[in-house]
Amino acid sequence: MVKRSADESLEDVIAHDSPASKKARVEGVDELRAETNGFSALPGARIQVAGEQRDAGERNANDILITAVKERKELKKAASPGDGADDLNEQSAYSATARQQAPTEGYSDLYLDTINRSVLDFDFEKLCSVTLSNINVYACLVCGKYYQGRGPKSHAYFHALEVGHHVYINMQTKRVYVLPEGYEVKSKSLDDIKFVVDPRLSKEEVAQLDKEAKDAWDLSGKKYRPGFVGMNNIKENDYFNVIIQTLSHVPPLRNYFMLEDLSFKPELVQRFSVLIRKIWNIRAFKTHVSPHELLQQISRQSNKRFDLLQQSDPVEFLSWFLNNMHLVLGGSKTKPGTSIIHRVFQGKLKIESQKITAKADAGDRLRFEEAAEVLVDTTRYLMLTLDLPAAPLFQDELEKNIIPQVPLTAILSKYDGLKAQEQMNTRKRYRLLHPLPPYLLFHIKRFSKNKFVTEHNPTIVIFPTRSLDMSPYVEPNPSIHPPGEPIWYDLVANVTHEAVRTRDDSVEGEAERKVWRVQVRDRARDEWLEIQDLYVEKVVTETLFTKESYLMVWEKRKENKGKGRS
């Protein structure tokens, strides 16, 4: 082809006219710009919009982008639930991620070999270790930590991805799942873990607890007695431990909280029930339990009056606990016997009171005068307080302070209805009324407070472990109990106090610390064991009274056919 000269015009060389300029097809371009965040063409393409020219040798970029927009819409509609109106990025993680409903065939036991039973401890409060929430909590069966939820955005899910721990158990439903896959594991090999989370014994097994002497072994092969296990003293909660150990050996109370369905009851009842069942667990992973979960609930409910950081008085805690437990179980404040607490411990007491007048001289102040009016009242009790005689102030002839001793029957004479006690300007007499409760709680009052110090009475109380006759302290009622026939009670538990001298940074240089222990009877073996926090050891029956008794639990004998063993 001959080249044209520079001075020749293009029209003279080309015979036909140039093609008319075409307008770009702009259908969908505005929508395209919205979809592509303002970009109007693919790289390298010149698109004519609103009359601008485009290169005839390039592909129609508008057609490509419009087609991409249509394909994007179709993908969005197929991926989103319903009518496809929701944006893909706003869908929930559950709809965006496919969860595996069941293990792959042949891999049902996958990851189960990673479970570490030695680190599992389900005694502590079920709170997520990240959010501190108690809702929908799962426990990692590899490291023992608690996490909330198991969905793709949950902390348990991230823990499975980051650390590689894959097996989790729901602390409420006791169902086991594998994460991140999300399927449930239904293996019989996990039944022991589910049992430890929430121990449940049948009615027949509970009936045999006090009849058959059975030993059990923990994971490390250490032998222990169900019902006689140590309890962790987290900080200063030994006062709490002895009370829980005592109540766990009152059979009617123990059986009620082990067998009844209390899932609809308040949290205080549920946590106490779980702790009782763990104390009597025959398949435990360790030889002790921790009361942390129940302690946290009690601390909240008592406004931190009783907690694990400060030592309190066991009798004060027992009184608070029994009364609150009675109320949350649906008991009435006025009607007796409306809860298991009242049916086990509540009795009736007659009180005679008389004003002290000027007629009584110094030697006759504690005698009831015939001329003065005597007021008679009856009240109900859960616990009987026994007063100790005053401790001697001076040394004996050998210049030694001998610890005084007093028989239990001597301080029980407070309730014989004969001896009067002076309180302010009133003298009172007490007498127990029929019927006596199945279990009697005796509080031996050892501490008294004045404006300056708290005084401690170290008097030793001598008592039998069996055949305590309570008939002298009960007002006769022939319609309920034959007059003159004894009413036998046997000792069930004995809480003791010990004062221990410790070094102190104060001016005195030393301080006194209280140590609480509990002595409980093993009915199946007819033995006594002493429990102090984590320590459990056998004790000789004849030496039980050598400790400072502070709280006693006595059980009424069902058959009065003789005194039996003493």
- Look at residue 125 in the predicted model and tell me its pLDDT: 87
Angle (CA) 383-317-492 rounded to 5° is 50
137, 149 Cβ separation under 8 angstroms: no
Q: Which two tokens stand for residue 329?
A: 């179980």
Give dist(CA 69, CA 62) in Å, integer. Answer: 11
Give dist(CA 349, CA 430) in Å, integer. Answer: 7
- Look at residue 395 in the predicted model and tell me its pLDDT: 58
- Look at residue 60 in the predicted model and tell me its pLDDT: 52
Give dist(CA 262, CA 409) in Å, integer. Answer: 40
Give dist(CA 464, CA 561) in Å, integer. Answer: 18
- Look at residue 45 in the predicted model and tell me its pLDDT: 41
The answer to whether domain 204-328 and domain 347-381+383-556 are alike in fold is yes
Helical ranges in 175-313 per DSSP H: 191-197, 203-207, 238-247, 251-259, 267-279, 292-301
- Look at residue 79 in the predicted model and tell me its pLDDT: 45
Q: Which CATH architecture has domain 95-196?
A: 2-Layer Sandwich (3.30)
String of DSSP letters for 19-76: PPPPPP--TTHHHHHHHTTT--S-TT-----SS----TTS--HHHHHHHHHHHHHHHH
- Look at residue 453 in the predicted model and tell me its pLDDT: 77
What's the topology of domain 204-328?
Answer: Cathepsin B; Chain A (3.90.70)
- Look at residue 491 in the predicted model and tell me its pLDDT: 96
The CA-based diameter of the chain, rounded to the nearest angstrom, is 155
User: How do the pLDDT tens digits run along the chain, 566 residues long?
Assistant: 455 555 555 555 555 454 444 444 444 445 444 444 444 444 444 444 444 444 444 445 556 656 666 666 655 554 444 433 333 333 444 444 556 666 666 556 778 989 999 999 898 889 999 999 989 999 999 999 999 998 888 999 999 999 999 999 999 999 999 998 888 898 889 999 999 999 999 999 999 999 888 889 999 889 999 999 999 998 899 999 999 999 999 999 999 999 999 988 999 999 999 999 999 999 999 999 999 999 999 999 999 999 988 999 999 999 999 999 999 998 988 888 899 999 999 999 999 888 877 555 555 555 555 556 788 899 999 999 999 988 776 655 555 667 888 999 999 999 988 888 887 778 889 999 999 999 999 999 999 887 777 788 889 999 999 999 999 999 999 988 888 899 999 999 999 999 887 765 555 556 778 999 999 999 999 999 999 999 999 999 988 989 999 999 999 998 644 444 43
Question: Domain residues of the chain, as ranges?
Answer: 24-89, 95-196, 204-328, 347-381+383-556
Q: What is the pTM of this model?
A: 0.77
Per CATH, domain 347-381+383-556 is 3.60.15.10: no
Q: Which two tokens stand for residue 370?
A: 């015939």
Long-range CB pairs of 131-140, under 8 A, 24+ apart, other chains included: 131/155, 136/170, 136/172, 137/170, 137/171, 137/172, 138/168, 138/169, 138/170, 138/171, 138/177, 139/168, 139/169, 139/171, 139/197, 140/165, 140/167, 140/168
